Amino acid sequence: MVTDSRGARAVRAAGRLNSPRAAVVEAEFDGTPREVNRQTVALVREEWRVVDRWWTEEPVSRRYFDVVLQSGENAVVFRDEERGCWFTQRGA
C-alpha cells in the first residue's frame, strides 16, 4: 500500500503510460497493419487475439500486433473489433 502522496502520483502516472491511444492504421486486405500513425511497418513480430467478457454487455474482442516500424521503433497496436477502431499501447 502506498501512503506517500508522491508515490500515489507515480502509480497514477505509470497507469497512464500503458493506456491505449487512438491510432491511424492502414491495413492490408488480411487486417495486418501496413502503416501505423503514418510510419511504415517494417516487420510484424507477433500477432494474437484477446476475447474476454463475452458473457457481459461490454465484451472485449481485440486483435493485437507487435510491430517494428521503419524508424526502428517497437509498437503494439490492436484493433478493437467491437468498436471497429485501432489503438496503440506501449508496454510498461
Instruction: Spell out the domain ranges in the chain.
Output: 21-89
Q: Is the Cα dihedral 86, 52, 49, 73 positive or negative?
A: positive
pLDDT at 89: 87
pLDDT at 92: 44
State which residues of the chain have pLDDT below 70: 1-17, 91-92
pLDDT at 49: 97
Per-residue pLDDT of 67-82, as tens digits, reads 999 999 999 999 999 9
pLDDT at 15: 54
Query: What mean pLDDT is reported for the chain?
Result: 86
